Amino acid sequence: VLTSLGLSFWIYRGVIGPLEQLKKATQNIKDGNLDFTVEPCGVAEINDLCEDFEEMRIRLKETAEEKVEFDKENKELISNISHDLKTPITAVKGYVEGIMDGVANTPEKMDRYVRTIYNKTNEMDHLINELTFYSKIDTNRIPYTFSKLNVEDYFSDCAEEVGLELETRGIQLCYANYVDSDVQVIADGEQIRRVIHNIISNAIKYMDKAKGMKGIIQIRVKDVGDFVQVEIEDNGKGIAAKDLPYIFDRFYRTDVSRNSSKGGSGIGLSIVKKILEDHGGKVWATSRLGIGTIMYFVLRKYQEVPMK
């Protein structure tokens, strides 16, 4: 009798009890509840099963949390893009109606209206491009075409292109190249242009200057050993020290209320970081409130390897 009782207790404790626990755990998962733990117990084989089940529960919970975060980010992106598209579309519609109604009755007014419409359509084009590029980042399908680029020629062209846009906004561009004329980098010219455009667009958006103070953006290209370093400096409102480490995170907003009024999908600088990491480079920033921000990024130089 004692042997029978002892054997029954051992079977219940070593097999039946753990199986009951696993049955409850299965029901919890079926009901969508992943906030529980499966305690290891019983004989070695049952204990291994419990541990495997607990590992499965942890992975399921992590996947569920990632999906919730992903859905939240997608909803936020759609909301931001929708808001940001509506603002320039409304402005374009208003200025076009003004032209049709004859409000722009002088050459100066007409020029101002046309310039504003041009700037607003550029904003819409940039937002649509960001949305398209964001979808490629999430699926790791960024179309890179790497080639050798002459640093002096390439960044001079970029500066000229950027300067035309800044001129329409009344912002002064200062460009300086300190790299020898024969220095080259291996890069995708189109994507590095996207990097420069995103950084400058961000600077323009927060170019809060008092009346009479002109917005200024400086681009400097420097030789730093094995790398070429590009510095883009603005004299905008600056970024607080507490926000600076997070500005390249996706959807991070330094000031939600200000961003909602100024627009911005919240992914521009995260795209910059992704492109430069894929190039084997990096990006960082320094800033002082009320003085301005400097964005830095580096690209590795192209160097010929001599044949032995």
Burial bucket for residue 281 (CB in 10 Å: 0-12, 13-18, 19+):
buried
How far apart CA 192 and CA 202 sit, in angstroms, is: 15
Question: pLDDT tens per residue, the chain (308 residues)?
Answer: 778 777 766 666 556 667 777 788 888 887 777 777 777 766 666 777 778 888 888 888 888 888 887 777 777 777 767 777 787 888 889 989 988 888 888 888 898 889 889 888 887 887 787 777 777 776 667 778 999 999 999 999 999 999 988 887 888 999 999 999 999 999 999 999 999 998 998 888 877 654 457 889 999 999 998 999 999 999 888 888 888 888 888 766 665 444 444 445 567 888 899 999 999 999 999 999 888 999 999 999 988 766 55
How far apart CA 175 and CA 220 sit, in angstroms, is: 6
Q: pTM of the prediction? A: 0.66
State residue 219's pLDDT score: 95
Adjacent-strand bridge partners of 285? 295
- Extended strands (E) in 210-303: 216-224, 227-234, 282-288, 292-300
Name the helix (H) or strand (E) containing 301.
none
- Extended strands (E) in 34-102: none
State residue 307's pLDDT score: 59
**Helices 189-205 and 107-138, packing angle to 10 deg:** 120
CA-nearest of 136, 151, 122, 133 to 224 is 151
How far apart CA 299 and CA 227 sit, in angstroms, is: 5
State residue 231's pLDDT score: 96
State residue 86's pLDDT score: 81
Strands across the sheet containing 292-300: 172-177, 216-224, 227-234, 292-300, 282-288
Measured CA to CA in angstroms, residue 139 lies from 93, 132, 170, 251, 266 at distances of: 35, 11, 38, 18, 19
CA-nearest of 209, 190, 214, 185 to 280 is 185
Q: Cα–chain-centroid distance for residue 85?
A: 18
